[in-house]
Amino acid sequence: MTQPAIEIRNLDKRYGKVHALRSVSVTVPAGPVGLLGPNGAGKTTMLKLLLGMLAPSGGEAKIAGLNPTSRKERLAIRQKVGYMPESDCLIPGMSAVELVALLGRLSGMPAPDAMTRAHEVLDYVGTGEERYRKNEEYSTGMKQRIKLAQALVHDPPILLLDEPTNGLDPKGRKFLLDLVADLGRKQGKHVLLCTHLLPDVERTCDHVIVMNQGSVIEQGSIANLTETTANVVHVAIQATSEESRTQFIARVREHGHKVQGVAGNTLHLLFDQDEVPMDGFFELARSTGVVLTHIVPQRSTLEDAFLKALEQDNNGTMPVTTGEAIV
Amino acid sequence: MKATTHTELYRAYEDPLHPRPPVERIMAWSGIRQGFRKKLPALSFFGPSVIVALVGCVWVHLSFSLKGMLKDGDGSDAVAATIQQVLGNVSSTIYQFMQTEQFFAFLTVAWYGSRLIADDRRLSANLLYFARPITPIRYILGKLGTVGAFGVFTLLAPALLICVQAAFSSPDWVFLTDNFGVVIAVVGYCLLWIFVMSSVILAISSCFKRRSLSLVCCFIVLFLSHGITQVLSEATDKGYYGLLSLMSNLQSISKWLFHESSLITNMANRRTGMGSRFDVDITHSFLALGVMTLIAWIILYRNVKRMEVIS
């Protein structure tokens, strides 16, 4: 089994009275993982703790098998991790290629390699000739690309990306998510994508960790979280008349099945038993002159899982005592 | 047609990374390059230093030339003697020019140094730096390298240029043989000035997120503290108030160094002592300067450490 990229045990962080992380324990598997949560959930705090940029109030974390609270290991971590901060941190007065090359050199690359590599990663993120412009002249989309490039310049095995799609238009967002997906799935990077946007995680990650108010409230593979809701089925019908449609619905109800919703010719049926009685169902359709065109068991979306987890969390599974966590 | 091959490829970097890259040098060099990128400030700050240095070179050249004329004993003796008196001796000329250079050096170092850490804080660029294997001390040394280099360009280099001119203008290298102590004093004092001033300015820069505030604070620390201590000294007739002023302490040390340097080349005068010439004991000045620098470093380290790891 592949070694987990990040292991966190009982990690706690307080900013004075504000409890930003509450005894978080999580194992981040290899591959692309989404760190999902609303603003103030403690996502950025967790990333900074992993990089050793924040000192924990309690607990421990290991990233690439190294402890970020140890000064020596912290420096080693920073060579193995690429960090894309959320804030607009590009140094003005420098061009993108100069900045990325400088940060490559600071990561331990020789000057010629750093410059070559800067061009390579800037090509990869699609900056083109704009890489020679000053950092202060870039659009938000371009800045996000450059921030990703600087995180990649020393080719780290682990990438911590903090809200990489913030402020991007749909095209730019798609481009950046494609890059993140490529890095996580094809280039073998351990990507921890920190975001509050569900579609970003759904699109790029295999696993997700859901955070709220400093706690991990859900984690697992996206496939598991969005597993089939066994007894709900979407049924699309083709009825010859309105009468036959109404009759079909009435007969379904007569047979003890619950019709959750009707939208045109699409019905949402709820069955009491686990197995959907398909044979009887076809018989019902035939007798009422309705053709079944589509029968699909409903899958819950990641959004459902996220909202459900949040709802459970806010219903008192975790006490809320000190207000909003700050990041 | 747009070539798409290399925009779609990610190439792994195979070579090992240097475990301890020379980050101080890399950061210092990057800072210097950035400093010179804007032409107008560079011209405004380095231009006056260059002009002062050139005037100084001409001045010492004239001094030695007129000395030569006086020795030759031609008809213009009286005129030459008068001009020679006006020009003064070379050591004091170098001292005077160095004092003038200090002002421009301060402006330059304050202008460039005040933004170095303040800008990083404002832009959160520390997140980029400290995501790399950089310790707070090495970060400080990198910034100190940048600001120190600007100090070298505006103070040490012009002062040394005048010394070199004096060496070449003096007959039989008499400047070097008789006044080598002056060169040592110039180098020693300039390096001390650069180190102390850079440390103080970086410490101030680390306290603010806005460059303008940092710059104003630099002027307050240097000039206002000097003004207040001068007034207090005058009012109470007690010279030790000067110990609270960075500028006064540096002045005392420069006077002492240049006086001492003339003693180095004149062994006969060494025994006469020099304490009585100064209002404040030089040991106290060194001590006060040491304490100020130490405080600056404590502030600097504390603030930079917080930029790396927030407790």
For A19-34, the pLDDT digits (tens) are 899 989 999 888 899 9
Q: How many CB atoms lie within 10 A of CB B184?
A: 15
Pinpoint the alpha helices (H) of A221-296.
Answer: 222-225, 242-254, 278-288
Rounded Cα–Cα distance for residues B179 and B90 (Å): 9
Q: State the pLDDT at residue B277.
A: 40
Nearest CA in chain B to A160: B131
Smallest Cβ distance to A89: which of B11, B13, B124? B124
| Cβ contacts of B130 on chain A, cutoff 8 Å | 51, 53, 78
CA distance to partner chain A, nearest, from residue B61 (Å): 41
Query: Is A166 within 8 Å of A196 (Cβ atoms)?
Result: no
Q: State the pLDDT at residue A234.
A: 72
Query: Is B40 within 8 Å of A130 (Cβ atoms)?
Result: no
Q: State the pLDDT at residue B268.
A: 39
What sign has the CA pseudo-torsion B37, B40, B46, B51?
positive
pLDDT digits (tens, 9 = 90+) for B213-269: 999 999 998 888 888 888 888 888 777 788 888 988 998 899 888 876 554 444 334
Q: Residues of chain A with pLDDT > 90: what percent?
A: 37
Q: State the pLDDT at residue A143.
A: 93
Q: State the pLDDT at residue B269.
A: 44
Nearest CA in chain A to B19: A108
> Measuring CA to CA, how many Å separate B184 from each of A226, A242, A282, B37, B91?
77, 105, 104, 33, 12
Domain of residue B228, residue span: 88-157+171-308
Q: Is the pLDDT of residue B306 over 70?
A: yes
- In terms of Cβ atoms closer than 10 Å to its own Cβ (0-12, 13-18, 19+), residue A278 is exposed
Q: Is the pLDDT of residue B31 over 50?
A: yes
Average pLDDT across chain B, whole number = 84
ipTM of the assembly?
0.83
CA distance to partner chain B, nearest, from residue A132 (Å): 14
Q: State the pLDDT at residue B8.
A: 58
pLDDT digits (tens, 9 = 90+) for A265-304: 677 676 655 566 667 778 888 888 888 887 777 666 677 7
Q: Which of A304-318, B167-181, B235-249 has the lowest mean pLDDT?
A: A304-318
Q: State the pLDDT at residue A280.
A: 75
List, as ranges, residues 41-80 from A with C-beta within 8 Å of B. Answer: 48, 51-55, 71, 75-76, 78-79
Contact at CB, B125 and A89, closer than 8 angstroms: yes
Q: State the pLDDT at residue B1.
A: 40
Q: State the pLDDT at residue B225.
A: 85
Q: State the pLDDT at residue B143.
A: 96
Contact at CB, A90 and B127, closer than 8 angstroms: no
> B195 pLDDT band (50/70/90 cuts)?
very high
Query: Is A310 within 8 Å of A212 (Cβ atoms)?
Result: yes
User: Is B74 within the bounds of a domain?
Assistant: no
Contact at CB, B7 and A123, closer than 8 angstroms: yes
Within 8 A by CB and 6+ apart from A79, the residues are A107, A108, A154, A156, B17, B19, B132, B133
What token pair was written down for B23? 């980050």
pLDDT digits (tens, 9 = 90+) for A193-214: 999 888 888 889 989 998 888 8
Rounded Cα–Cα distance for residues B123 and A127 (Å): 22
Q: Tell me whether the CATH fold assigned to A6-225 matches the one assigned to A228-299.
A: no
| Cβ contacts of B19 on chain A, cutoff 8 Å | 79, 108
For the domain covering A228-299, report its CATH number: 3.30.70.120
User: Is B41 within the bounds of a domain?
Assistant: no
Nearest CA in chain B to A53: B309
Angle between helices B174-207 and B211-219 (to 10 degrees): 130
Q: State the pLDDT at residue A293.
A: 80
User: Is B296 within the bounds of a domain?
Assistant: yes
pLDDT (mean) for B70-84: 62
Q: State the pLDDT at residue B80.
A: 62
CB pairs under 8 A between A and B: 117
CA distance to partner chain B, nearest, from residue A235 (Å): 42
pLDDT (mean) for A168-192: 91
What token pair was written down for B93? 């000329």
* A120: contact with B, CB 8 A cutoff: yes
Contact at CB, B10 and A187, closer than 8 angstroms: yes
> Where are chain A's structural domains?
6-225, 228-299
CA distance to partner chain A, nearest, from residue B124 (Å): 5
Query: Is A171 within 8 Å of A116 (Cβ atoms)?
Result: no
pLDDT digits (tens, 9 = 90+) for A122-161: 999 988 888 999 988 999 999 999 999 999 999 999 999 9
Contact at CB, B10 and A183, closer than 8 angstroms: yes
For the domain covering A6-225, report its CATH number: 3.40.50.300
> A327 pLDDT band (50/70/90 cuts)?
very low
Q: Looking at the 3D structure of chain B, how many domains does it have?
A: 1
Q: Is the pLDDT of residue B145 over 90?
A: yes
Q: State the pLDDT at residue B176.
A: 86
> Measuring CA to CA, how many Å separate B61 from each of B25, B74, B87?
37, 19, 10
Nearest CA in chain A to B34: A93
Contact at CB, B123 and A182, closer than 8 angstroms: no
Q: Which of A3-7, A105-109, B24-28, B282-286 has the lowest mean pLDDT?
A: A3-7
| Cβ contacts of A182 on chain B, cutoff 8 Å | 10
CA Rg value for chain B: 24
Q: Is B1 or B202 the better-scoring residue by pLDDT?
A: B202
Q: Is the pLDDT of residue A309 over 80?
A: no
Q: Chain B residues within 8 A (CB-CB) of chain A?
A: 6-13, 15, 17-21, 23, 26-27, 30, 34, 37-38, 119-120, 123-125, 127-135, 308-311
pLDDT (mean) for B181-203: 94
Q: Is B68 or A282 the better-scoring residue by pLDDT?
A: A282
User: Is B81 within the bounds of a domain?
Assistant: no
Helix, strand, or coil (residue B88): coil
Q: State the pLDDT at residue B165.
A: 92
Average pLDDT across chain A, whole number = 83
Q: Is the pLDDT of residue B278 over 50?
A: no
Q: State the pLDDT at residue B33.
A: 93
Query: Strand pairing of A215-221 and A33-36?
Result: unpaired
